[in-house]
Amino acid sequence: MKATGDVSKNRKMWAQVKQTAQERLAGLGGKLLDSPHDYEIARWTNPELTLIFYPHRTSANNYHCRVRAGFCSNRETLRKAILALAENTCTFQFPAEREWHNEAVMASIKQDRRCIG
């Protein structure tokens, strides 16, 4: 996603990312809300977990969405959220939970290959 200026304030630019996150996390019983902070895209909360979605600029000046756990009382719920968000896409990145994120992306790739082949 190429952009200029402060993209964290450009809510329109992140609308599709938020829609995708809401759809993928629907089974975990939380809700996605716009963040009051300019440096965040949105926050997803349920009683066991809060996920914070924020923009990240790469060295090529492209933007993608990173996600981190703001509150987590159940690591299994976090793992399920990572698996749900990684399904068929690399849109969401979890730098702090890289191992689970990589596992989820690889599982998604294997699933795609089974559907194609």
Residue 76 and residue 60 in contact, taking contact as beta carbons nearer than 8 Å? no
Could you tell me which residue, 17 or 88, shows the higher pLDDT? Answer: 17
Q: Is the pLDDT of residue 28 over 80?
A: yes
The average pLDDT across 68-81 equals 89
Confidence band (pLDDT; 50, 70, 90) for 112? low
- What integer pLDDT is reported at residue 11 of this predicted model? 67
Whether residue 42 has pLDDT greater than 50 = yes
**pLDDT classification of 31: cutoffs 50, 70, 90:** very high
pLDDT on residue 47: 93
Residue 50 vs residues 44, 67, 68: alpha-carbon distances, Å: 6, 10, 8
Q: Could you give the dihedral angle defined by the CA atoms of residues 38, 39, 44 and 45, in that order, rounded to the nearest 10 degrees?
A: -80
User: In whole angstroms, what is the distance from residue 102 CA to residue 110 CA?
Assistant: 12
Confidence of residue 7 (pLDDT cuts 50, 70, 90): low
Pick the CATH number of 7-116 from 2.40.10, 3.90.120, 1.20.120, 3.30.310: 3.30.310
Of 51 and 60, the one with more pLDDT = 51
Name the pLDDT band for 79 (thresholds 50, 70, 90).
confident
